[in-house]
Structure 1
Amino acid sequence: MKLMAPGTELDGFRIGKCLHAGGMAHVYEVSYADARPSPFPMVMKVPRMTAGDGAENIVSFEVELQMLQVLQGAYVPRLVASGDLLHLPYLVMEHIPGQSLQQWLDVQQAERTPVRVEELIRIGVATAKALQSLHAQNVCHLDLKPANLLLCPDGRVVLLDFGLSCHAHYPDLLAEELRKAVGSPTWMAPEQVVGVRGDPRSDIFALGVILYELATGELPFGDPQTQGGLRQRLWMKPAPPQQHRTDLPDWLQEVILRCLQAQAQDRYPSAAHLAFDLRHPAHVKVRGLAEQGGGWWAQLRRWLWAAGQHYQPSALPAQQQIREEPNRQGVRR
């Protein structure tokens, strides 16, 4: 797909400069062709689709359009217009200033600067708040990673790229069309590997991977390139973060490892609970997750359980039960 030249007019929009030309999409600045003012800056996202592409790109475009049409709030960009699949598919949406968490991380790693605990907490809380808003609208992101988190000057984290998302009340187009796990392997939750979609705690696992990398500069399960490598997270426990960074507080290690539990029911029940613990370290009970289940017998049992798990797309998710944030005594409001 060729880049569109600045000044090109398309469906009432004038194309500006190209902001991003990636493997999945091109992103352009746009304005109204008739020069009328817009209430906010706009961008046009044009997915890369060629004759050789599989169904995933087409379905992902339809899914993202479906999600942006219903999502509201300060943690997602506002949708303006969309193009026709038969002509040229595109999404025109709000252009929110900021930089991706991946861009921010790249600078930190290039400078070999450890992320301060206070900064990690700030990013973690802001991301958890964005996730809680998303989950309250019955949507799971399912592709949470640093490249899809926008750090805004006002402290917000805005969620981007909903092409792999799932809505509790809509048919799951990706599960229907693609008989395989979809997502970014580094951040994919164990249940996603075996076809379970629509569980908000999958996003909490992905946020745990992000927090682990922020804390240590390492990835808890590496960057798997094979199905076998991806399945290791079903039974293998990550190295405790303090093995990579000895000055990390015990309570923060506990929070990160709870997010990374293989069984969804062992993670935080909601993003609000995670945000609460990040803001209130004294509330966190250090249960020694770093030491639990590390013996060979426990590891063998997890491996045997994982060996019996096969990919099976889940049915349409039931309406998510969103728990409210606990107060300091642990009582739900």
Structure 2
Amino acid sequence: MSQDGGFTGRSLAGGRYRLLDLLGTGGMASVHLAHDRVLDRQVAIKTLHSELGREAAFRERFRREAQAVAKLSHPNIVTVFDTGESALDDDGGAPMPYIVMEYVEGQPLGSVLDADVRRQGAMPADKALRITADVLAALEISHEVGLVHRDIKPGNVMMTRRDVVKVMDFGIARAMQSGVTSMTQTGMVVGTPQYLSPEQALGRGVDARSDLYSVGIMLFQLVTGRLPFDADSPLAIAYAHVQEAPVAPSSVNQALPPAVDALVARALRKNPNERFPTAEAMRDECLRVAASLQPAAPHIIAGPSPQAGAGIGSTVFPPIDQHTPPPSGPVQTPYQPGPYGAPTPQPAHLQQHQGYGYPQQGGYPTAPQQGYGQTQPYNLSPQHPGPSSGGGKRNVPLIVTAAVVALAAIGGLVAYLSNGDEGKRAGGDAKPSASATKNGYKGPDTSKTIDAEKCTDARESFDDETKLQMPNFQYSYIDSVQDCIQAARWSKKVLPMPDNIFGKGAVMKQVPAAGEDFDPEDTITLYVSTGYPN
């Protein structure tokens, strides 16, 4: 049997699509160049591997996701023309799910990067930023309808012959993680460890900001020619995403200005609340920085790429009968001072500037530094290191804590690579309220608002034209949410919920959830923060 499963030369959909050359294959599907005999055009057809195609529940999920993606219309998104199930022309077996997409004549972004690396060590910063901005434009449209890509990387971005960016595989990773498939064989991997966000590596729910972390990893790779975290094992890479701080891109490519360092540093924050709130915000910053750059060829510093997770073995499994020294190098002491380690350090030349390190430019204001431990939704197990007297006992908490971190990373990565977490939350700015906390009370933050048009012009359901898609009210101030709901003449019910992270009046939960279909005649339930802890 050939690499494509013997499909080349065969037909789908009653002979309408004839499969020609194999364009590529992955863990869950193969992509063929095909000819549409009805419209007389070339298309690309993605067919599921036969093992997955035998599971009816997964086929249904695949169909629904494909239908949702087909409604995305944007110049930077590969267009989906058709989807369905069809037995091969001479195959009497079960129907095989397929997706018909536009055929992009070009090459993957990874190949474009490889060419730039061979010529000059990395991609020029202005080119990298504009490509990244186009990827973010595609993600902005996807996130608006609740689709989180979950596998952004150069291999899923195409560059046409006219240098137009095309993002592929929207919603497919989400379908794979829906929990309806029991496939866990070797090779059935969704996502790439080098581009996983910390919350993905830990098996937590993901939202739009997880995609922005992956975009940050990709941007780092474009401007330096190497990945910020890479190692020989997925465990070491997952550990690095959770625990290690990436180096500044300018420490690898000296031609990069401070603005690029600051942009990448914000995108790669361990805590999602500290990243860019939306794809639109990150795209605007990419374009602003690109417009301010002076053309300069990359200046790469020679040297091997640092290996991620270098201290995990000696930290979790110390030598017998020896005291365990603190890990050296870039590996941080796990979960001190907070669950994601210390904030990403800025280069020395950035620390003297306000904002995010854009000298003589109007950047984002620098927020007061707060320990990540204050962001309770992302705490695993709070650590309270006390005074130590040295000796062997001092190392016991470090070993135990490091073991907990490693096991959490292992469990999260295994869950991600098999079933994963559905992570239904839609993207949005979930940054905690800046109001002062006093005696456990967090005051209201009235700056978190939602436009009334999100309700009055709510999107229609993909599956039922009588229903709408629920807007995302989470973390918005209740007065603004009530105004939005009232403008659309919907009914609501407000219930109190203990919380002192986002401040009194913040909507902590909503039923139906953001992005779900709902009947405008139904009552929306809002769980609103009291400002006090449990």
In the alignment, residue 76 of structure 1 is paired with which amino acid? V
- The alignment yields a C-alpha RMSD, in angstroms, of 3.7
SS of 1:127's equivalent? helix
1:102 to 2:130 alignment: no
Map 1:258-273 → 2, pairs under 5 A:
258-273=266-281
Partner of 2:66: 68
Partner of 1:46: 47
1:29 to 2:30 alignment: no
Map 1:260-299 → 2, pairs under 5 A:
260-281=268-289
Cα displacement (A) at 1:319? 4.0
Map 1:173-212 → 2, pairs under 5 A:
174-175=178-179, 177=181, 182-212=190-220
Cα displacement (A) at 1:12? 2.7
Cα displacement (A) at 1:191? 0.3
Question: Matched residues in 2 for 1:19 and 1:234: separation?
Answer: 37
In the alignment, residue 81 of structure 1 is paired with which amino acid? T
CA contact (8 A) 2:86 2:96 kept: yes
CA contact (8 A) 1:145 1:207 kept: yes
Q: 1:298 to 1:17 in 2, by over 3 A?
A: closer
Cα displacement (A) at 1:102? 1.4
Cα displacement (A) at 1:224? 5.2
Q: Sequence identity of aligned pairs in percent? A: 21
- Normalising by the residue count of structure 1, what TM-score does the alignment of the two structures yield? 0.77
CA contact (8 A) 1:164 1:174 kept: no
Question: Matched residues in 1 for 2:168 and 2:271: separation?
Answer: 26
Q: Which runs of 5+ in 2 are unaligned?
A: 88-93, 293-329, 342-380, 383-401, 431-449, 452-534
Partner of 2:424: 317
Cα displacement (A) at 1:173? 5.1
In the alignment, residue 84 of structure 2 is paired with which amino acid? S
> Quick one: which of 68, 79, 82 aligns to 1:80?
82
> Quick one: which of 249, 259, 274 aligns to 1:251?
259
SS of 2:44's equivalent? strand
Cα displacement (A) at 1:215? 0.8
- CA distances 1:102-137 after superposition (whole Å, capped 9, x unpaired): 121222233344311110111111111111111111
Question: Matched residues in 1 for 2:239 and 2:223: separation?
Answer: 24
> Quick one: which of 99, 108, 113 aligns to 1:91?
99
Q: Larger radius of gyration, structure 1 or 2?
A: 2
- CA distances 1:156-176 after superposition (whole Å, capped 9, x unpaired): 422212464338xxxx85346
Deviating more after overlay: 254-263 vs 192-201: 192-201
Question: Matched residues in 1 for 2:213 and 2:132: separation?
Answer: 12
- Normalising by the residue count of structure 2, what TM-score does the alignment of the two structures yield? 0.50
Q: 1:240 to 1:162 in 2, by over 3 A?
A: same
In the alignment, residue 44 of structure 1 is paired with which amino acid? I
Deviating more after overlay: 195-204 vs 134-143: 195-204
Equivalences, count: 307
Question: Matched residues in 1 for 2:152 and 2:137: separation?
Answer: 14
Q: 1:295 to 1:225 in 2, by over 3 A?
A: closer
Partner of 1:290: none
Question: Matched residues in 1 for 2:224 and 2:118: separation?
Answer: 14
CA contact (8 A) 1:26 1:47 kept: yes
